[in-house]
Amino acid sequence: MKYVVWPEEKRGRSKPAEESSVSQDELFIRKLVDATLLSGQLFVHLSHESDDQSGEFIYVTSFNPEEVETYGNAIESAVKSSSVGFSRIEYLLWDGTAFQTPDRLFPAPTFKRDIAAYLLNHYLVFSSLTYEILFSIYDPTHDRVLLFLKEADSDEQ
């Protein structure tokens, strides 16, 4: 599977930003997230395709915080300050001004298929509280997903 940086000024495929062989479960995750960290730089997904001769492609462009309504700068800041843990998923909860690691425990799925199932949802319910998924990022270097959430009943933006 290949990540291709999509230059707006060109038509057609450009040189892959990253190319790797991944399992089907990991491919699901990589296609379901909103963005990916490649060599420490955040890229947002534009599209993806499956080519029966050339393989899998994910088209990306550099992350621009202004293009992610309300939360773009906070997402960028959280990614820069994120510490690497041992979980395959890191939850970051909106507190009205920034994304923080939640005080309460959230589920820690160990299988990639379970993480992919989370990514198919717009909302997650943990301990009777509903959370809206605002944004998701895959970090292939640390094989983890960063999941940006806010309490669904919260009016804070």
Q: Domain for residue 157, yes or no?
A: no
What tokens appear for 9 in the block?
A: 């000024």
Q: Which domain covers residue 112, as residue numbers?
A: 72-151
Does residue 14 sit in the same domain as residue 45? yes
Q: Domain for residue 67, yes or no?
A: no
Does residue 51 sit in the same domain as residue 77? no
pLDDT-based confidence at residue 154 (cuts at 50, 70, 90): low
pLDDT-based confidence at residue 37 (cuts at 50, 70, 90): very high
Q: Domain for residue 49, yes or no?
A: yes
What tokens appear for 15 in the block?
A: 């040189």
69 or 63, higher pLDDT:
63
- Listed ranges 76-90, 102-116, 139-153; the one with the highest mean pLDDT: 139-153
Does residue 50 sit in the same domain as residue 77? no
pLDDT-based confidence at residue 17 (cuts at 50, 70, 90): low
How far are the Cα atoms of 24, 94, 133 from residue 128, in angstroms, in the given order?
32, 18, 16
pLDDT-based confidence at residue 5 (cuts at 50, 70, 90): confident
The helix (run of H) or strand (run of E) holding residue 25 is helix 24-32
pLDDT-based confidence at residue 105 (cuts at 50, 70, 90): confident
Beta-carbon contacts of 69 under 8 Å, excluding residues fewer than 6 positions away, are none
Domain limit, last residue, from 15, 39, 62: 62
Domain total of the chain = 2
Please compute the mean of the pLDDT values over residues 87-115 and round it to a whole number.
Answer: 89
What tokens appear for 93 in the block?
A: 């909860």
Please compute the mean of the pLDDT values over residues 46-59 and round it to a whole number.
Answer: 89
Query: Residue 66: pLDDT above 80?
Result: yes
Does residue 52 sit in the same domain as residue 95? no
Phi-psi region of 40 (alpha: psi -120 to 50; beta: other; left: phi over 0): left
What tokens appear for 8 in the block?
A: 């707006």
Domain limit, last residue, from 40, 62, 84: 62
DSSP 84: P
Please compute the mean of the pLDDT values over residues 71-75 and round it to a whole number.
Answer: 94
Residue 16: predicted pLDDT: 56
